[in-house]
């Protein structure tokens, strides 16, 4: 599978950010010499208009926006770029020899990220954007590709905001970054990207999210979560990768009474189409691991929250409604419990898992033993919804989003359970901790404080809203 020439090949083209028409030949990218600097988080980024400059061969802009490639450039070398890479000590000892040794003991293959091409679908979505920022900060060479259709499920301005944060970080990183606008449900586009860039690692975070939305718009979930994921699997089969990591969801546990939820629990009774598509993804991945020896790892995320998150998530929509003096509804009369997980913890988990691919092995029948794994990523401390809302209120007041005398009770309504919802989510993340030495650590107070401070800056300072 041919890949785009990047920092591991000849320096033949400009580094200036620009849009390349899908009918043009895709430019190659010269080697970078910039010194890696601290990468801002999405919450710290500026939201000014993205600058576009005239191409000059000596410029050093590191992020490009391209459309779907139509030509397949020569395959890149996978060895030259890592020859002189710097030694990086990552958070949690992910590059530590002991960490790699543990991977071998649990039938994992260590995946070096430096010098590689990494495709992140669903970036600049919420989790995807934060993961790309982390990669731009941690890697010393290579290429990171963001791939998203920028749909209007929620206001695209927020995705544009995250994309600007990525572009700003890329300008300070020794890593190349490309943004390609398109849908994983488009088989031709997905396959052209795989053929042109030959990603070494794929992280599939692109999906139609939302339990409630799936009740009214089921067809969207079939296109993105089933057809789209099939296209990703096919791309990884035709153009082999070292590791495919994909997002599943705690929704697959449905109304299970046993808590905490463990990955070996029975999950055959989903209560929403969204949950059914995520369970289907796990089954499809297992099939491709077995039949085609594709190393896959699924991650069941538990109620992710944080700055610049999805506006349809409860914490974000509640903050917005409080500001607009609209009523929030607390379903199941506020007696739901959720295992809220801060986005930085999610990204830390994904980052580590990317580096530990299930090992390829043959069984007695000569066929692959499926290089397949599945993990929960959750805080392991479910929070009562009423307590969560109380903490959110306090942090919104502290951040000066709302006045101290705000009458919260006037804008809270207790309501019965709604279709597709579940009373509790609670992650058993011991397998993740045992295999990768990590457990989420950021508590609700700290996480909501960071969100409230970001919300104040984004809504009032940057957008000038009253």
By annotation, the residues acting in catalysis are 274
Q: Which residue has the tokens 């890149």?
A: 76
Q: Three-state DSSP class for 331? A: helix
Q: Is residue 248 within a helix (H) or strand (E), and if so which, with residue range?
A: strand 243-249
Helix axes 444-456, 314-323, angle to 10 degrees: 50
- Which tokens sit at 400? 């000066």
Q: List the structure tokens of 179.
A: 């943004």
Q: Are 379 and 302 in contact (CB under 8 A)?
A: yes
* Three-class DSSP category at 143: strand
Q: In what helix (H) or strand (E) does residue 117 lie, and over which residues does it extend? A: strand 116-121
Secondary structure of residue 247 in the 3-state scheme: strand
What is the rounded distance in angstroms from the CA atom of residue 82 to the CA atom of residue 131? 21
Specify which residues 304 forms β-bridges with.
341
Distance CA(63)–CA(48), nearest Å, equals: 16
Q: Which of 394, 410, 392, 201 is nearest to 305 (CA)?
A: 392
Tokens representing 64 are 């490009």
CB atoms within 10 A of CB 357: 24
- Beta strand pairing call for 296-301 and 361-362: unpaired
**What does each C-alpha distance from 445 to 1, 59, 243, 382, 402 come to in angstroms?**
48, 44, 35, 13, 17
Structural tokens at position 231: 């296209």
Q: Where are the beta strands (DSSP E) in 321-444?
A: 328-330, 337-338, 341-342, 356-358, 361-362, 368-369, 372-377, 383-384, 412-414
How far is it, in rounded angstroms, from Cα 303 to Cα 295?
26
Short-list 434, 438, 222, 236, CA closest to 344: 438
């Amino acid at each position: 599978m041919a890949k785009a020439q990047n920092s591991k090949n000849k320096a033949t083209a400009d580094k200036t950010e620009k849009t390349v028409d899908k009918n043009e030949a895709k430019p190659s990218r010269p080697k970078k010499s910039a010194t890696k600097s601290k990468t801002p988080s999405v919450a710290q980024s500026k939201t000014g208009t993205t600058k576009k400059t005239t191409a000059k061969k000596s410029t050093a802009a590191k992020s490009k926006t391209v459309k779907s490639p139509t030509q397949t450039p020569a395959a890149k070398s996978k060895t030259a770029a890592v020859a002189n890479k710097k030694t990086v000590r990552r958070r949690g000892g992910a590059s530590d020899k002991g960490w790699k040794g543990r991977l071998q003991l649990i039938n994992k293959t260590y995946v070096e990220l430096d010098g590689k091409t990494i495709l992140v679908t669903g970036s600049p979505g919420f989790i995807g954007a934060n993961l790309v920022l982390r990669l731009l900060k941690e890697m010393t060479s290579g290429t990171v590709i963001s791939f998203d259709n920028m749909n209007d499920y929620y206001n695209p301005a927020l995705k544009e905001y995250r994309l600007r944060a990525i572009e700003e970080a890329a300008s300070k990183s020794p890593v190349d970054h490309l943004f390609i606008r398109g849908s994983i449900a488009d088989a031709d586009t997905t396959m052209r990207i795989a053929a042109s860039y030959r990603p070494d690692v794929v992280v599939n975070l692109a999906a139609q999210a939302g339990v409630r939305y799936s009740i009214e718009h089921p067809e969207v979930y079939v296109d993105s979560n089933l057809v789209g994921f099939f296209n990703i699997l096919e791309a990884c089969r035709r153009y082999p990768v070292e590791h495919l990591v994909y997002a599943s969801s705690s929704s697959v546990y449905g109304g299970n009474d046993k808590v905490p939820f463990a990955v070996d629990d029975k999950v055959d009774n989903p209560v929403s189409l969204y949950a059914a598509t995520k369970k289907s993804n796990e089954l499809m991945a297992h099939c491709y691991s077995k039949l085609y020896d594709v190393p896959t790892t699924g991650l069941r995320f538990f109620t992710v929250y944080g700055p610049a998150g999805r506006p349809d998530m409860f914490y974000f929509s509640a903050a917005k409604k409080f500001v607009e003096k609209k009523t929030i509804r607390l379903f199941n009369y506020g007696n739901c419990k959720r295992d809220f997980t801060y986005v930085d913890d999610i990204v830390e988990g994904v980052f580590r898992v990317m580096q530990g691919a299930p090992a390829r092995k043959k069984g007695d029948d000569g066929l692959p033993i499926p290089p397949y794994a599945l993990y929960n990523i959750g805080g392991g401390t479910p929070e009562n919804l009423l307590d969560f809302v109380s903490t959110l209120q306090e942090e919104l007041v502290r951040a000066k989003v709302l006045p101290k005398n705000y009458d919260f009770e006037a804008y809270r309504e207790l309501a019965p359970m709604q279709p597709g919802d579940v009373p509790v989510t609670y992650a058993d993340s011991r397998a993740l901790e045992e295999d990768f030495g990590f457990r989420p650590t950021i508590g609700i107070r700290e996480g909501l404080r960071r969100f409230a401070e970001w919300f104040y800056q984004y809504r009032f300072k940057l957008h000038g809203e009253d």
